[in-house]
Chain A
């Protein structure tokens, strides 16, 4: 089953995250199309069926009727459109939100037999449901514990980004090649200017320093970056190459929270370099590089199109179109196809959504005109491609929308209450010597408990009342020993 997802990217970022290489190796972005009925997709960390969420589909489904804006890099053959989660079959009458049976999920085993799904599938209504991840619950006697499943986000950890090389400022060529990979590691912003260490031969630049925690993506940061660019430009200079391109990745040591990838394009022709940083919330920075020639006209423009942010989960789905009456705008709605769980997920639940884990699979599933359903159906199978972590039980309520819905929590770790603290303190006051080795064990356990409780949710406010009393009691020396 798949009954709850998270999808928190803004429409613009969703299409960026769906950028793909077309047959000619060109990066393309799907275009965004609003739902014909005007329903809005609202990014959320806790999405339940009934909501409109972005769905990737082939543009062929719409091309005749809807003109869609050309995306950067030419007309795309894919579009993203918000659709209602929960398929409404065309023959349904009445309120589309009151379909008498559940259509949030479509069991892969029966999708080619059940009329609700067979008909749209035969018509080629295959789509990809986009989400940051999905939630699944594991039931135990202590209630249901939600887990968040998503694609491993390994690429966020490494900064090896392919370089886009602009061979000539007059040509709009995007070529992927490894050229000069430069890496800037900030360690201190103060020492930024003075301590510029350059290891030219290895093409690695280390800016020595000590603190990079406070590096928000801010205008100030931009300035610093630019300054560094200029600095570097002077240092490196142009060593005879007709064009010299470099990419900087500035890395923040904080868990890839906010990466800034900045590209500077130094050309021997144009000495000007424009660095435009577009910071988007969370994890991702997109950069447009504009090169200007001597006359100042903008001649080349390119977009770095490989997405560096959160890799969106791509789940196979089936959609259908429903109309209230002849003239009403069509309502697009979808079902997530589910399969029995792969062995890395069956500990949690016996069903999982059908994940399409590679670009090729995505393409094949979408391309209904070239790949017949019989073959496409083979793509639907359990896969081992997800990672997961436990999340707060607050997610159980679909109205809970806070950002920490997707944040990992420690489960089974009790929240330190005044009572448990008192108990621990009292136990630690056990006469030393008698149980020395054991005491240290207790202490350790206590410390661990204390640390872990920091990460757990909804703890703070309760502790205050008891804490001062506890502190007083502790300072007064353990009453245990006073007699």
Chain B
């Protein structure tokens, strides 16, 4: 028996919205410690990792480990049926081929109940290497979304150069070039608006903007985003999901002489 009740149901909605375009299907692994999801996009260039801690839920019960193969666009459709203030409860029996979702309005006047079919997926569990990153940048998530959107007007890829002073995003294309420089905020009165660069070694990496724009769809989840970079390892774009856990996107850097397929 699996049951997870989340009072702040909008988190589920935002979470699904942020991954449904990148992933078509994924496995939700439920265990006594929480829910995790790891999946690669169809081109195998990026990876999504979600971790939701059992403590973050209002009630959480998982008697046996359960893997639910879910068609994400379908789940997203169902989640759209939930109001923003609704309490969302996810339920499944141990050997079920469906998952049920219960949406309760805050004043308990309305209860909706949805059941969705699960799908069979080949479990391709991925181990994510523990990596020390040369640069870790924390910045407002809305700012990151804006930068990615703006620079995709100019080109397919963005060069992220990270130095002590700050971080520079640049793109170039047929119509010209664009550079956006963010400096470390001197005073940090508002944490959510600060830009913090934590750096061991300067890095300069190129990424496909297409994917960064997919990642930026997670912006509503968190006011801050954290970018972790090292040479020749995938970039990590992390959004915290309040007390629940995190949503991380991994993206392989573009390699020279590669003409924009990733």
Binding site for B on A (CB under 8 A): 412, 414-420, 422-424, 426-431, 434-435, 438-439, 441-442, 445, 449, 462, 464-466, 469-470, 473, 478-480, 483
CB pair A469 B125 closer than 8 Å: no
Contact with A along B220-262 (1 / 0, CB 8 A): 0000000000111110000000000000001011111111011
| CA of A438 to CA of B253, assembled, Å | 24
Measured CB to CB, the closest approach of chain A to B34, in angstroms, equals: 17
CB pair B44 A414 closer than 8 Å: yes
The secondary-structure label for the interface of chain B is loop
| CA of A412 to CA of B254, assembled, Å | 22
A420-B256 in contact given A438-B127, A483-B132 (Cβ < 8 Å): no
CB pair A438 B125 closer than 8 Å: yes
- The listed residue (B126, B208, B252, B257) touching A422 by CB distance below 8 A is B252
Chain B interfacial residues counted at CB < 8 A: 34
- The listed residue (A414, A419, A441) touching B125 by CB distance below 8 A is A441
Measured CB to CB, the closest approach of chain B to A387, in angstroms, equals: 26
* Interface hub of B44, B123, B254, B258 (most chain A Cβ within 10 A): B44
B18: CB under 8 A from chain A? no
> Closest B-chain residue to A437, C-beta based?
B125
CB pair A431 B129 closer than 8 Å: yes
**Inter-chain contacts of B46 with A (CB < 8 A):** 423
Within 8 A of A (CB), among B178-235: 208, 230-234
CB pair A479 B231 closer than 8 Å: yes
B42: CB under 8 A from chain A? yes
CB pair A449 B44 closer than 8 Å: yes
22 contacts between A and B (CB under 8 A): A417-B45, A419-B43, A419-B45, A419-B208, A419-B262, A420-B252, A422-B252, A423-B46, A423-B234, A423-B250, A423-B252, A424-B44, A426-B233, A429-B129, A438-B126, A442-B126, A445-B124, A465-B257, A466-B255, A469-B255, A480-B129, A480-B233
| CA of A440 to CA of B232, assembled, Å | 23
Contact with A along B118-159 (1 / 0, CB 8 A): 000001111111111000000000000000000000000000
| CA of A107 to CA of B256, assembled, Å | 53
A420-B125 in contact given A414-B44, A464-B257 (Cβ < 8 Å): no
| CA of A416 to CA of B42, assembled, Å | 11
| CA of A51 to CA of B42, assembled, Å | 38
> Closest B-chain residue to A427, C-beta based?
B126
CB pair B127 A418 closer than 8 Å: no
CB pair B234 A442 closer than 8 Å: no
CB pair B258 A442 closer than 8 Å: no
| CA of A431 to CA of B129, assembled, Å | 6
B47: CB under 8 A from chain A? yes
CB pair B129 A423 closer than 8 Å: no
> Closest A-chain residue to B127, C-beta based?
A430
CB pair A426 B256 closer than 8 Å: no
Binding site for A on B (CB under 8 A): 40, 42-47, 123-132, 208, 230-234, 250, 252-259, 261-262
> Closest B-chain residue to A468, C-beta based?
B257
Given pairs A419-B252, A427-B128, A427-B129, 13 additional interface contacts (CB within 8 A): A414-B42, A417-B44, A417-B258, A423-B40, A423-B250, A424-B44, A428-B127, A435-B125, A462-B259, A465-B256, A478-B129, A480-B130, A480-B131
CB pair B43 A420 closer than 8 Å: yes
CB pair A414 B43 closer than 8 Å: yes
Measured CB to CB, the closest approach of chain B to A472, in angstroms, equals: 9
Measured CB to CB, the closest approach of chain B to A278, in angstroms, equals: 46
CB pair B258 A465 closer than 8 Å: yes
- 6 smallest beta-carbon distances between A and B, as pairs: A465-B257, A430-B127, A419-B262, A438-B125, A420-B44, A466-B255
**Inter-chain contacts of A449 with B (CB < 8 A):** 44
**Inter-chain contacts of A420 with B (CB < 8 A):** 43-45, 252, 262
A479-B126 in contact given A417-B262, A419-B258 (Cβ < 8 Å): no
A441-B45 in contact given A419-B252, A462-B258, A462-B259 (Cβ < 8 Å): no
Measured CB to CB, the closest approach of chain A to B67, in angstroms, equals: 13
A466-B256 in contact given A426-B233, A431-B129, A434-B127 (Cβ < 8 Å): yes
* Interface hub of A418, A419, A434, A462 (most chain B Cβ within 10 A): A419
Measured CB to CB, the closest approach of chain B to A36, in angstroms, equals: 51
| CA of A465 to CA of B256, assembled, Å | 7
| CA of A426 to CA of B227, assembled, Å | 17
> Closest B-chain residue to A445, C-beta based?
B124
| CA of A403 to CA of B27, assembled, Å | 40
Measured CB to CB, the closest approach of chain B to A334, in angstroms, equals: 42
CB pair A439 B127 closer than 8 Å: yes
- The listed residue (A412, A418, A424, A441) touching B255 by CB distance below 8 A is A418
**Inter-chain contacts of B253 with A (CB < 8 A):** 419, 422
**Inter-chain contacts of B47 with A (CB < 8 A):** 423, 427
| CA of A465 to CA of B40, assembled, Å | 24
**Inter-chain contacts of A415 with B (CB < 8 A):** 261
Measured CB to CB, the closest approach of chain B to A414, in angstroms, equals: 5
- The listed residue (B123, B131, B257) touching A466 by CB distance below 8 A is B257
| CA of A479 to CA of B231, assembled, Å | 9
Measured CB to CB, the closest approach of chain B to A412, in angstroms, equals: 8
**Inter-chain contacts of B44 with A (CB < 8 A):** 414, 416-417, 420, 423-424, 449
Measured CB to CB, the closest approach of chain B to A430, in angstroms, equals: 3
